[in-house]
Chain A
């Protein structure tokens, strides 16, 4: 080990029973491909990806089946080759028990990959690299599933001094990162080097809780090898004291660097960024091997005979996974995540998703129902253990009384829902449930207010538009009437004016004179062809003239009608 790294502390924290030994005895096994994969499209924070396949399509392993939608979103891929059976609503791995759009794939057993090519991130622009990582679906695998491409941005400073790699894994029962570090340390370091280059980061600090000596040793060897290759000592593996929640990003950064990221600020503003070790592994696979994120390491532990870590294809039903480990007969629930922060699943048919670091099998014996909630006695124990330096009892009172504005004033949204406060509460108050309730109510209100603002704006615009249209119509009508009046006036003037002006009089006299002249000329003129006619010709002409007169007489009424 290098020179002793100075460690800092974080406020509060608890030491629950870790229960990690059961699943660390065996190496990571590859879980068999299930008969049906149910892959939810929404597996990360942000926009819901659009489905890119339809029922009946054949898909290859690693083929994109959901395209990222919006600024914050991440793609989803087929975990194996097969046929898309349906794109339909299926039960989600979510406490609500609600359904969401999933792609159901029937594997064909051939496990046929799409063509895979390494991505040359060194010659690509940062935007191209981020787009690539978005389309390979890499998200934070510590449990928050925040799209990694958004975090691989050095931020305002343009470079970071420290990249923190989170291998603390502080929650009881979960050992997926532990096993990953023991078995695949080299790959994790390779992924870390890629991330470091993208972030222009200086040193790398890998924080691992000191209850994982084997993982620390393995990572130490890999880090030394990388340091030796680079000829420096910029990658350091740092054992941190075992105390829940040392694996919280802010807590680990504080322990390793002493920097506390304040409310409303980003860690990159302070030259820091933190990634889970599983994310580093996924980034290596995506960049160096061209493999999108289609599987993850999942710990199956709790009320089972053989707890173990499995490499699981995303979309595998939890039931299949639990069946591999021999669930005990009194099993009555499945929890995604650990006992402190995990979410109770509606049943065991829900699929493994990117957020599922652990499938915890529970029973009444293992997790007895909490004793009835008692009144808060204001002992302040919760404030003593809060790792975010909040005042949980204040937030509890205001959440319980539904005074959400006040709860927010006590920085409810800085709560990481670690559960330390509820763990130590002597009155057994499920404090985190209150915070989750208050948070979701505040979010809903926020959305409602936004919708109301849009409606107000649209309504006011409509009123404005109606007013404008009315005015335009009135203006048009006025213009039309004015034009009509002018025309009528002009016509009237034409009728009335001739008698009045002398000029017009003169004109009329001229016309009359001309007409008179024409009449006289006509009377004097004799058509040449009618002189010197024989009596016979004369008679013929007369007959014709008579017929013409007759016809004219007959046509008169018709002509009049035409007039």
Chain B
């Protein structure tokens, strides 16, 4: 009986030591779930979800403080991906956070810009270049289309322009058509 207790205690000590070592040796830095959620979010950094950036929103989702349908730039597809990742039910985009818009970039009307630098300070990805009393301009490939530069502009010289399709970015259409009866008659 005493031996049995000793054996069990020894086992507990050995396993405990192994687990303790593993906890130190294979420690995971950061929250892997937050990273995974952050990878799905579009990184627009627009704050439409009510959080100051995509990472804070990802952290809030991981903690269960925010819903998965608060990201308009991610759209329905983003919500589907989040639902798959988190094993939750799909919800349509929450209307209070905005609507899904076509991808756009900010364009500064350089004739009207007074060089106040307010938009430069507002841009979350430092995609606007310029200096005080000098004309500003948006570096289009780096603009995420977050619209955060629009409200601070005192002369309303920034507009959002949808990115047009070019031969390089054109996509083949989904080839599932509805059968059109008039087509058959014509044939």
Contacts and interface: CB of A to CB of B under 8 A. Distances in A.
Interface of A: 42, 48, 92, 94, 96, 98-100, 368-369, 372, 400, 430, 433-434, 436-437, 439-441, 444, 447-448, 451-456, 458-463, 465
B34 interface: no
B175 A434 contact: yes
B142 A455 contact: yes
Contacts of B26: none
A437 B183 CA distance: 23
A460 B125 CA distance: 8
Contacts of B124: 459, 462
A145 to B, nearest CB: 13
Contacts of A96: 165, 167, 170
Given A430-B175, A434-B175, A455 B125 contact: yes
Given A451-B144, A459-B45, A459-B124, 20 more contacts: A42-B167, A48-B168, A94-B167, A98-B166, A100-B166, A369-B187, A400-B176, A433-B175, A437-B173, A452-B43, A454-B142, A455-B44, A455-B45, A456-B55, A459-B125, A460-B55, A461-B126, A462-B125, A462-B126, A465-B126
B12 to A, nearest CB: 44
A458 B126 contact: yes
A511 to B, nearest CB: 55
15 contacts: A42-B168, A94-B170, A96-B170, A98-B166, A98-B170, A433-B175, A437-B175, A439-B172, A440-B171, A447-B169, A451-B141, A452-B41, A456-B43, A459-B43, A459-B55
Secondary structure dominating the interface of A? helix
Contacts of A456: 38, 43, 54-55
Given A98-B166, A369-B187, A462-B126, A455 B144 contact: yes
A462 B148 CA distance: 15
Interface of B: 38, 41-45, 53-55, 124-127, 141-142, 144, 165-176, 179, 183, 187
Which of A430, A444, A462, A465 neighbours the largest number of chain B CB atoms within 10 Å of its CB? A462
Contacts, number: 76
Contacts of B179: 372
A459 B53 contact: yes
Contact of A433 (B44, B45, B172): B172
Given A96-B165, A98-B165, A452-B43, A458 B172 contact: no
The 5 closest A-B pairs by CB, nearest first: A433-B175, A452-B43, A455-B43, A96-B170, A458-B125
Given A455-B43, A458-B142, A459-B124, A92 B38 contact: no
Given A430-B175, A433-B175, A440 B43 contact: no
B84 to A, nearest CB: 11
